[in-house]
Structures are given as C-alpha cells and as structure tokens.
Amino acid sequence: MQKIPIELKGSNFTLLVLYLNTNNIDLISKSLYKKIQEYPQFFKNAPIIVNVSNLLNQVNWKKIQEVIIAHGFYIVGVSGCKDNYFKKVIIESGLPVLLEAKKNNMNQDLNSFYNTCNLKKTKNEQRERIKKIEKTHVINTPVRSGQKIYAQYSDLVVINNVSAGAELVADGNIHIYGSVRGRVLAGANGDITSKIFCTTLFAELISVSGQYWLSDQIPSHFVGKSAQIYLKNKFLTINSLS
C-alpha cells in the first residue's frame, strides 16, 4: 500500500513564551542579551512565541522582530495581539498570529502553542494515554548537550549525568541518578501525578505537566542538592529527598 505524501497530526512541543512589556528597542535588546548571557546553552537557537499583549500603541514590529532574531531566537508565532492593524503588520512580516486558549494558570506557557492550534486532547483522551504507561525506559550513558530523550507512555530513568543543553521528556516520572544541568519535563501527556526525582539539581528548566521553572526560579537552597519536584494544588512544589 502506497504511503500518502503528507500527514497533518497533533503533537506536543515545549516552547518558551517571550513577553514584551516595553516598546523600547534598546531596552528589549539589552534585556535579551543579559538573559542569554545567563543561560547561553538553553537559549541558543531557541524557538519562541512572542506575546505582545502588554505593548502600547505605535509599535515598530519590524525593529522588534529584527532584534529578537539578531539574538539567535526563532520566532514561530505571535500571541496576545488584539489590534487588527497590528495583526495585519505581523502577518505581513511572515508570522502567524496565534489565538490563546483560556488557561486556569499562567504558568502553562509551555503548552500555549499546542493549545492555540486547537490540538489539546480532551480529558478522556488524556486519561486513556495515562493508562497506557509502559515499562520504565532506562538510560545508562551520559546524556550530552543537544540530545533529546522522550519516554512515551512510560517513566524515564537516567543513571548518569545530563549535560546543559540536553532535554529529558517523559509521559510519566523522571528519575536522574547523577548531575542534571539540562531540561527535564515530566508528565508530558498531561499526567499531573508525575514527579521528577534527581540526586544533584542544576537544571536549566524543570516542568511537570506544563508547569515549569527556569533555573533562576528554583529555590537556591535546592540547587546542587537531591530533590523531588511535583504538583501540589496545580503549583510546582520541591522537597528534599534526604
């Protein structure tokens, strides 16, 4: 049977949302530079969504777009635009205007692109996926920068170190028996009971079912220590393993 040439399917991507709170081009540029210097590996060639809901009138979108691209980001879409003329300008610049779905919690930015494309699974579908958890996926070797490991319908166990710029994703729990400096995303299919366990926490990003912290949001007294991260009342919570 001949395979059809193309297919359009729903998927789940982890994208950062850049919120712009000023029209000042120089200030935007300086702020982006400062943030990139803090986490160069994490933000290198990162795809992002730009949220313009807080921008005032008289926006020079062309200049803003050029500044963001000049700092090495890839803009995949623009959200939060309410002005029709501004929408036209954005579309003419070659970018889509994304409609944000209503969310119960603003920390769900990592799922915004998934939601705006109307690819969000129903609660029943999510329950069915969660039921399909398979045997644990075990990695014994170091996870290098640039590597991405996805444990679909299962837990993920890494018995080694995870370098900066690497990414671990699992539909279930994630266990890391080593130093972790990359991105760790548990409960990727919406399982709010998933947890992250690690022995030495230096992560660039940690996420459970769409709720996430960047490294500067992780409580400092847990950095470099053993910890477990999970959701409690829909908010990320961290505790010591010892």
> pLDDT for 7-43, tens place per residue?
776 655 667 889 999 989 999 999 998 888 876 766 7
Residues 74, 55 contacting (CB under 8 angstroms): no
pLDDT at 120: 44
Q: Which of 177, 197, 178 is nearest to 186 (CA)?
A: 197
30 Cβ contact list (under 8 Å, min separation 6): none
3-state class (DSSP) for residue 128:
helix
User: pTM for this one?
Assistant: 0.52
Token pair belonging to 161: 């170190």
Q: Which domains does the chain have, with CATH numbers?
A: 16-116 (3.30.70.260), 128-240 (2.160.20.70)
Residues 188, 230 contacting (CB under 8 angstroms): no
pLDDT in tens, 137-183: 999 999 998 899 998 888 999 999 999 989 999 999 999 999 999 99
Residues 63, 29 contacting (CB under 8 angstroms): no
| Phi, psi of 115, deg, nearest 5 | -70, -45
CB atoms closer than 10 angstroms to residue 230: 20
pLDDT in tens, 75-132: 999 998 888 888 899 999 999 998 765 444 444 444 444 444 444 444 555 555 554 5
Token pair belonging to 36: 């990139």
Which residues on adjacent β-strands are paired with residue 107? none
Residues 41, 68 contacting (CB under 8 angstroms): no
pLDDT at 200: 95
The C-alpha angle with vertex 24 and arms to 22 and 28, in degrees rounded to 5, equals 75
Q: pLDDT band at 197, cuts 50/70/90?
A: very high
What gap in Å lies between CA 224 and CA 157, rounded to an integer? 19
Beta strands in 28-181 (DSSP E): 47-51, 74-79, 97-98, 137-139, 148-151, 156-158, 167-170, 174-180
pLDDT at 152: 86
Token pair belonging to 92: 């003419």
What gap in Å lies between CA 85 and CA 26, rounded to an integer? 24
Residues 201, 180 contacting (CB under 8 angstroms): yes
pLDDT at 12: 56
pLDDT at 121: 47
Q: What sign for the dihedral angle of Cα 191, 177, 198, 167?
A: negative
